[in-house]
A and B are shown apart, each in its own frame.
Chain A
């Protein structure tokens, strides 16, 4: 197994120590930065798919995402130096009134793992805050998460607020256990995912639409 395959494998199983060491070794030995990045994002792609197939669950995903995040920290200065930037920027948060953020945190990590720049607005985020952050960070994706059916209905206000602020080019991707395609269509969201495993696919699909 070459070092990049080993890096991919270490991220997939959440072995952060090995993953960071291999990322550092790859950077120091001058391996092409894009190849290192590809090895890392490839790992998270596999993790997301395995999660969707119920082969792994939230804990495995969390530790894989942490290994990814820490390996990425090694690579980031090199990416900046090489002028390689994420192609897209997302702002993400839980909907107003909803304080449950495990899913949102996982999605943020998955998106970062897919080389999307992510600005995490935290929990209990109002439509106005989503709009302001999207403008400030020139986001092309807004991610809104809800765990409760009580709060989920407020997602529509985010879509409306973005449209009213003339930000209709921004793709809105909603997510959370109670979210359905029917609801996403009803409020005019561009994509949806019921779990973090489907979040990368949802955003890619929304960006392509």
Chain B
């Protein structure tokens, strides 16, 4: 098969590795990380790519989860669309949605760190958790608030919008064992430093490539992947299978 793999750059190393080893011909397209902050925008970006991706590809494989509902509503284009049954990329890093669920229930206050996110942070940023806002970006936001709303309101807004940090107590670094030792150590050090700075416990978890490998290898077990045919769209299932297919209205 010839596959088009649309992926968030947080999965770049994993997807490239699996693509290099896949029995199929795989073209990888990366989207900027952090787009889940604005799910409708991420959905529009992905849909635009799906709409223009057809033969000679046999299928599009999507290395994304539901990502805050961003992928809900995506319509397959003229070829099948394959999506892992995952709420977000952490399932893809851990290789098993039951494992993610167990982590989630056991440690709801976990902030996740992965290699690609840490090494693809904005220049000068000391902060690189999945979904994080960089320190540089936070400073720029503060300045913008001062100009728009005055010092008093700006201070209040930064406090309110940063209050989420007080609910977290654990940093979890998922080690995929892909990057060279030096790069992996540098990423882990950044995660540890961040955890220390925030007073969070640090845990190092071994990641599993199995879900990404299956996606790129075309081993689409219905238990782990949803295959949408042309004319179908993705919907949330609100159950353990996470997502389901439904007919897409014409137009």
Contact = CB atoms under 8 A, between A and B. Distances in A.
Q: Interface residues of A: mostly helix, strand, loop or mixed?
A: helix
Contact of B105 (A97, A101, A105, A147): A97
Interface string A172-199: 0000011010010011000000000000
Question: How big is the A interface, by class?
Answer: 20 to 34
Interface in A52-66: 58-60, 62-63, 66
B68 interface: yes
A97 B87 CA distance: 14
Interface in A1-51: 14, 16-17
Given A62-B157, A97-B108, A149 B87 contact: yes
A186 to B, nearest CB: 6
B108 A98 contact: yes
B153 interface: yes
B125 interface: no
B56 interface: no
Contacts of B39: 177-178
B197 interface: no
Interface of A: 14, 16-17, 58-60, 62-63, 66, 97-102, 105, 123-124, 147-153, 177-178, 180, 183, 186-187
Contacts of B163: 101-102
Contacts of B160: 62, 102, 105
B57 interface: no
A150 B69 contact: no
A123 B197 CA distance: 24
Given A100-B164, A177-B39, A153 B238 contact: yes
B236 interface: yes
A96 B66 CA distance: 20
Contacts of A16: 152-153
Nearest to A94: B167
A31 B85 CA distance: 60
A14 B149 contact: yes
Given A98-B108, A149-B87, A177-B39, A63 B156 contact: yes
Given A148-B87, A150-B104, A63 B157 contact: yes
B124 interface: no
Contacts of B72: 178
B41 interface: no
Contact of A63 (B101, B153, B164, B236): B153
Nearest to A147: B68
Contacts of A148: 68, 87
A14 B108 CA distance: 34
Given A149-B68, A153-B238, A177-B69, 14 more contacts: A16-B153, A62-B156, A66-B156, A99-B108, A99-B109, A99-B168, A100-B167, A101-B167, A102-B163, A148-B68, A152-B238, A177-B39, A183-B238, A187-B238
